[in-house]
Structure 1
Amino acid sequence: MLNLHSFVQTNQAFPAEVRPFLPALEVLLSRLNGLIDINEPDVAFLSDLVALREEEIMLHLLSMQLWQYRYEAPNGERWDITQEAYSDFISRHNDVTRSHYIDNAEYLTLISTWIISLCDWEINGSYSGVQLQ
């Protein structure tokens, strides 16, 4: 399963600026299971998470190649990362096609808003997903 533990040592100390993103990253990675794996360039930045600033995290997240595509079932249903994991979507549909978004600016706005909504801006030194120290 793709999760933050795959990328970071649990004894790493996360700067205060990174901590709000940890819950969002856990959800994001769980939603991407079945679509990307730990070796994908899109998630390589997570191994340097402790060194990143807030803006860099968002830049990496919004630059992920997967946002350039939409995933659609033969019945026209599209996968929506804000609603379900890719693995759940693919388990309901035998033949999912990937097509290129012509203009994904609106989609990126939706994704950025969703990611920010998943952040815990009140987080302190404890987070159950990854130990903060």
Structure 2
Amino acid sequence: MNTDNLYQIVELRPLIPAIIELQNRIAGIEKYCEPLGFELAESYDTEEQLFYHLFRQKAFAFQVSNERGECWDILLETFSQFAARSKEMTFAAKGNSHERLQAISKWLIQLCDWDQTGFVNNSKH
């Protein structure tokens, strides 16, 4: 499903800004580690399904580090910004702490346009 199709489903529209920002933050990672690219399912019936799918993006389960020991934080910068200052990157599968999962969930919720004002909330946290 692409964002154009999501606009057709009123219940899913509030999540479109979160999708756009998440796509932006993850963009380019698939060149280094293909399975971590952004994915959407073919369809969604509810905002809960879509939110759950966004929250379960594979990139959230990996720690990406560079040669200087820096770790990419999707909440702070795009992957392309991190990659631009990195010569070598490692991708380590790791679970997230409860606090980290809570921060990701809160960030995604804040990106949504719950008021349906038509303005995209692309705040950079």
Identity score, percent: 28
Q: Across the two proteins, how many residue pairs are aligned to each other?
A: 117
Question: For the structure 1 residues 102 and 122, does the alpha-carbon distance in structure 2 shift closer, same or farther, using more than 3 Å as the test?
Answer: closer
Q: Which residue of 2 aligns with 1:64?
A: 57
CA contact (8 A) 1:68 1:104 kept: no
Q: Which residue of 2 aligns with 1:82?
A: 75
Q: Which residue of 2 aligns with 1:123?
A: 116
In the aligned structure 2, how far is the partner of 1:19 from the partner of 1:34? Answer: 25
SS of 1:98's equivalent in the other structure is strand
One-letter amino acid matched to 1:64:
Q
1:76-115 superposed matches below 5 A: 76-115=69-108
Question: For the structure 1 residues 104 and 9, does the alpha-carbon distance in structure 2 shift closer, same or farther, using more than 3 Å as the test?
Answer: closer
TM-score, structure 1 normalization: 0.73
Question: For the structure 1 residues 127 and 8, does the alpha-carbon distance in structure 2 shift closer, same or farther, using more than 3 Å as the test?
Answer: farther
1:43 and 2:39 equivalent? yes
Question: For the structure 1 residues 127 and 72, does the alpha-carbon distance in structure 2 shift closer, same or farther, using more than 3 Å as the test?
Answer: same
One-letter amino acid matched to 1:63:
R
* Structure 2: gaps (5+ residues): 121-125
Question: For the structure 1 residues 11 and 69, does the alpha-carbon distance in structure 2 shift closer, same or farther, using more than 3 Å as the test?
Answer: closer
Question: For the structure 1 residues 98 and 120, does the alpha-carbon distance in structure 2 shift closer, same or farther, using more than 3 Å as the test?
Answer: same
In the aligned structure 1, how far is the partner of 2:5 from the partner of 2:50? Answer: 20
CA contact (8 A) 2:6 2:13 kept: no
Q: Which residue of 2 aligns with 1:22?
A: 16
TM-score, structure 2 normalization: 0.77
* Structure 1: gaps (5+ residues): 1-6, 129-133
